[in-house]
Amino acid sequence: MIQLNINGQSVQLDVEPDTPLLWALRDSLQMTGTKYGCGQALCGACTVHVDGSPVRSCSMPVSAVVGRKVTTIEAVDAERVGKAVQAAWRKLDVVQCGYCQSGQIMSAVALLRQNRKPTDADIDAAMSGNLCRCATYVRIRAAIHEAARSLA
Amino acid sequence: MRETTIENLSRRRFLQGSAGLTLGFCLPSLAVAASAGKSPVSTFEANAFLRIGSDNTVTVLSKHLEMGQGTYTGLATLLAEELDADWAQVRVEGAAADAKRYNNLFWGPSQGTGGSTAMANSWEQMRKAGAAGRAMLVSAAARQWQVPAGEIVVEAGKLSHPPSRRTASFGQLAEAAAQETVPAEIRLKDPKDFKLIGKTAKRRDSADKTNGTAKFTQDVQLPGMLVAVVAHPPQFGATVQSFDGSKTRAIKGVVDVVQIPQGIAVLARDTWSAKKGRDALVVQWDDSRAFKLGSDEIMARYKEMAKKPGLVARQEGDAAQAFVAPAKVVRASYDFPYLAHAAMEPMNCVVQLKADGCEVWNGEQFQTVDQGRIAQLFGLKPEQVNLNMLYAGGSFGRRASTHSDYVLEAAHIVKAINGRAPVKLVWMREDDMRGGYYRPLFHHALEAALDGSGKLLGWKHRLVGQSILTGSPFESVMVKNGIDHVSVEGAANLPYAIPNMLVDLHTPTDIGVPVLWWRSVGSSHTAFSTEAFLDEVAAAAGEDPLALRQELLAERPRYLAVLKLAAEKAGWGSKLKAGKAGERRGRGIAIHESFNSVVAQVAEVTVAKDGSLKVDRVVCAVDCGTAINPDNIRSQVEGGVGFALSAILHGEITLKEGRVEQGNFDGYAPLRINEMPKVEVHIVPSAAPPTGIGEPGVPPVAPAVANAIAAATGKRVHRLPIRPADLLA
């Protein structure tokens, strides 16, 4: 049994220690907002926060997050930055297929927590690990600026 | 996917017959859904596309897949417009698989999404469904209030009778409306009265897709469900000779290992265990019937084939005569690689066998085709196969599989375990990347004959590449006299007024790589070869690329308007701001019609000394008929630019001895945000019926960029993807 802290709750999981956090979330906890895209930390669809920093949960074994705080898309609206980012995404209708957007939002929230007034270059640097095959990038940039304005 | 001449015919019938059109409406009915602890919500099913609940929700049933292109929002917009619903009360659900009620009106008796047809084929159907529902609500109100129907006003989800000051919501009238008869004649609004169409109705899926609750196939969890990960053969056509599953069976969570025609499936309680189990398999493959060529060898063969005439796809005037003694001849050839769709959600499918049929959960793009194939495999009737259409995490054509490949793979696994558990087939990224069904590799050779004044006298275009439709259920309709329509689309219907033209095609039949439509299909390569070549012709003739296009399109006002808008907005002819030291900058233009929409784009690029390329800005002008949702049109074209740039800058699936060399996003790299240019989208105002928009933004990007590169560097791009080595200073 492995004990994890997910979205402020303590959970016990019967999984092998090498199981990636992604699959523990999705298959053991039925928290399916975090997505599988590549399994190699190349696409960012599986991005969650561990102790506030964005990590690729597909390449992070559960054993590595014991004793640390994991936040997923399901709880990102618990704080102001998360709410602002989601609201900006909706206001600008950023999404298309939507599959990558949980990861995009988690990366955007992490950026805005660090940098309340990111430039396009800051956004490109922080978000280039998150692929969007629909290429919603124009709106992702605009929505991050929008969220930054609403947080100012 | 494509519209064909057949589809265009059926569209004409549809428009002509629209006055008294039978919509295949089922009779209105009243369903009551009671659940414990809740007051029952009764539902007025006005027709196959509309349900109004006594809780005041308006549910629109979408016969088409939402894979990002905005279909759910668009179809609901059409219906809600004529229903006069409040946009906030509108919800969308995927419709059942039913070729009778939910067929694509451009495809005959077949349900499916593709060819950028969702809005175009539903344009009248969904509006009529909304108008019928509205009429029934009005009748119900008139009966209840004992007032003339003509005095009732419907606005934003409410009916009112101003003289008597009575009002009621849709929900309050739902039960009564269910007792009304479906109106025999339906009148649609004058476009000047539109409140939603042409405005910006917000996406209906934005909320669910920003909080993690949107349901994709990958997210389906059923009691007792097993997850299957499959060991696929390393080459197309190879089969299992023998396998050893003992190590796999020892892995915790693994439940079963079964052989299926597609390989060896490992079934486990969860995805990670299934993947570990699959990776632990020891399989001996029989490659005696495998396809073993490399992509370089395939291209070399195609270049050989291109030396001889192919089957004629278009002939105008006397092309041979035009080349007898021209003042000048321009020649160029263009090479295109295989491309993977690489949707963010790798292919997957859930299948459950039940006593009385089969249940499937899928980002379902080809209902009728998939339903028929699954039914056949299980010995069921098609109507016993219930398809639950979920959101697709992208598709770009991949989920509209001509051979139902991954769907049948899931069904085979269920069959192999005698249906004892529901199974979710999950392809890992590598399975998806190496699973074939690529945009076909193509070779194009073009020649132009010019007279002494630089006037274009003759045009010859030869294409070599595999057919997508041969061997598919659509072959009889879309392959004529050996010409696969989608191999030559965009080339055979080149709009330019050139007196002598010859377009011919070679279709190799001995290449064992499965191919499929990839966003914009034939136009994904024909737009490049024709538009990049036209710029080479313009250079040879000493003409401005825009002026040459305008001259050759003088009789095509729709094209001219699009060209003009793009050129104006991009500042064509103005001087580009210089780059930094050593940087070369340029601007290029291209125009292409696909899926009955015309798109022109002007690209601005910067090429560094080392040949690295940055696309800075793409200005787009679009004529897609009536703009149902301008913001969604912008969104689709913005995304289309990024999708096309992925292919131009990086996209290439290569084979070595028949093995696909790429496996994940490192080897096959989609565009990232730092490579995304600024994109502007301008829409030509139009009152014509809507045409496609999901795909038409893609084709002109590559030639516009290549033409900009030529303007910047003098170097012509003759193969994709673009290699920095080809652009060195």
Cβ-Cβ contacts under 8 Å, B210 against chain A: 86, 89-90, 94-95, 98, 101, 105
pLDDT at B593: 98
Assess whether pLDDT exceeds 80 at residue B78: yes
pLDDT at B729: 80
| C-alpha distances out from residue B345 to B264, B266, B398, B432, B521, Å | 22, 20, 11, 9, 20
pLDDT at B39: 62
How large is the average pLDDT for residues B267-293? Answer: 98
Report the topology of domain A76-151.
DNA polymerase; domain 1 (1.10.150)
pLDDT band, residue B8 (cuts 50/70/90): very low
Among candidate residues B101, B685, B610, the one with its CA nearest the CA of residue B383: B101
Q: What type of residue sits at position A12?
A: Q
Q: What type of residue sits at position B263?
A: G
Residue A41 CB coordination number (10 Å): 17
Q: Which of A129-138, B8-17, B415-424, B675-684 has the lowest mean pLDDT?
A: B8-17
Structure tokens at B379: 């010995």
Of A99, A123, A131, the CB nearest to B670: A131
Cβ-Cβ contacts under 8 Å, A128 against chain B: 672-674
Strands B456-465 and B500-506: parallel
First to last CA, chain A: 44
Sequence-distant (≥ 6) Cβ neighbours of residue B453 within 8 angstroms: none
How large is the average pLDDT for residues B480-486? Answer: 96
Give pLDDT tens digits for B322-347.
999 999 999 999 999 999 999 999 99
pTM of the model: 0.95
Assess whether pLDDT exceeds 80 at residue B550: yes
Q: What are the domain boundaries of chain A? A: 2-75, 76-151
| Average pLDDT score over chain B | 94
DSSP sequence for B556-604: -HHHHHHHHHHHHHHTTTSPPPP-STT-EEEEEEEEEEETTEEEEEEEE
Is B465 within 8 Å of B459 (Cβ atoms)? no
Cβ-Cβ contacts under 8 Å, A97 against chain B: 67-68, 343-345, 391-395
Whole-angstrom distance, CA of residue B563 vs CA of residue B592? 10
| C-alpha distances out from residue B466 to B290, B463, B545, B652, Å | 17, 10, 32, 16
Tokens 């693994």 correspond to B254
Residue B616 contacts A where some CB pair is shorter than 8 Å = no
Cβ-Cβ contacts under 8 Å, B343 against chain A: 97, 99, 133
Q: With a CB-CB cutoff of 8 Å, which residues 33-52 of chain A face chain B?
A: 33-40, 42-43, 45
Whole-angstrom distance, CA of residue B175 vs CA of residue A57? 49
Whole-angstrom distance, CA of residue B650 vs CA of residue B717? 14
B172 three-class SS: helix
pLDDT band, residue B42 (cuts 50/70/90): confident
How large is the average pLDDT for residues B185-191? Answer: 95
Dihedrals phi, psi of B384, to nearest 5 degrees: -85, -5
pLDDT at B200: 85
Is B622 within 8 Å of B566 (Cβ atoms)? no
Tokens 């007034």 correspond to A117
- Percent of the residues in chain B that have a pLDDT greater than 70, as a whole number: 95
Of A20, A77, A97, the CB nearest to B68: A97
pLDDT at A94: 98
Asked if the interface predicted TM-score (ipTM) of this complex is over 0.85, the answer is yes
Whole-angstrom distance, CA of residue A28 vs CA of residue B670? 31
pLDDT band, residue B6 (cuts 50/70/90): very low
Query: Between helices B118-145 and B71-83, what is the axis angle to 10°?
Result: 30
Residue B16 CB coordination number (10 Å): 9
| HEC letters along B669-723 | CCCCHHHCCEEEEEECCCCCCCCCCCCCCCCCHHHHHHHHHHHHHCCCCCECCCC
pLDDT band, residue B204 (cuts 50/70/90): very high
Length of chain B: 729
Q: Which of B199, B227, B270, B272 to mutate to test the interface with A (most CBs of A within 10 A)?
A: B272
Which domains are delineated in chain B? Answer: 11-211 (3.30.365.10), 217-288+347-426 (3.30.365.10), 295-338+438-727 (3.30.365.10)
Whole-angstrom distance, CA of residue A110 vs CA of residue A100? 16
Instruction: Determine, for residues A135 and B68 on separate chains, whether the beta-carbon distance falls below 8 Å.
Output: no
How large is the average pLDDT for residues B5-23? Answer: 29
pLDDT band, residue B38 (cuts 50/70/90): low
Instruction: Determine, for residues A86 and B210 on separate chains, whether the beta-carbon distance falls below 8 Å.
Output: yes
| C-alpha distances out from residue B699 to B66, B120, B531, B532, Å | 22, 19, 10, 12
Query: Between helices B5-16 and B118-145, what is the axis angle to 10°?
Result: 20
Is A2-75 a domain of CATH 3.40.50.300?
A: no
pLDDT at B594: 98
Q: Which of A10-14, A34-38, B724-728 has the lowest mean pLDDT?
A: B724-728
Assess whether pLDDT exceeds 90 at residue B436: yes
Sequence-distant (≥ 6) Cβ neighbours of residue A121 within 8 angstroms: none
pLDDT band, residue B360 (cuts 50/70/90): very high
Assess whether pLDDT exceeds 70 at residue B28: no
| C-alpha distances out from residue B406 to A102, B216, B353, B665, Å | 26, 16, 17, 21
Is B45 within 8 Å of B66 (Cβ atoms)? no
**How close is the nearest chain B Cα to the Cα of A107, in Å?**
13
Is B537 within 8 Å of B330 (Cβ atoms)? yes
| Average pLDDT score over chain A | 97
pLDDT band, residue B5 (cuts 50/70/90): very low
- Percent of the residues in chain B that have a pLDDT greater than 90, as a whole number: 93
CA atoms within 13 Å, Cβ hemisphere of B255? 18
Q: With a CB-CB cutoff of 8 Å, which residues 80-139 of chain A face chain B?
A: 86, 89-90, 93-102, 105, 123-125, 127-128, 130-139
Whole-angstrom distance, CA of residue B101 vs CA of residue B27? 12
Whole-angstrom distance, CA of residue B422 vs CA of residue A113? 43
Is B90 within 8 Å of B80 (Cβ atoms)? yes
Sheet containing A9-13: which strands, arranged edge to edge? Answer: A9-13, A2-6, A69-71, A47-50, A53-56
pLDDT band, residue B31 (cuts 50/70/90): low
Give pLDDT tens digits for B379-403.
999 999 999 999 999 999 999 999 9
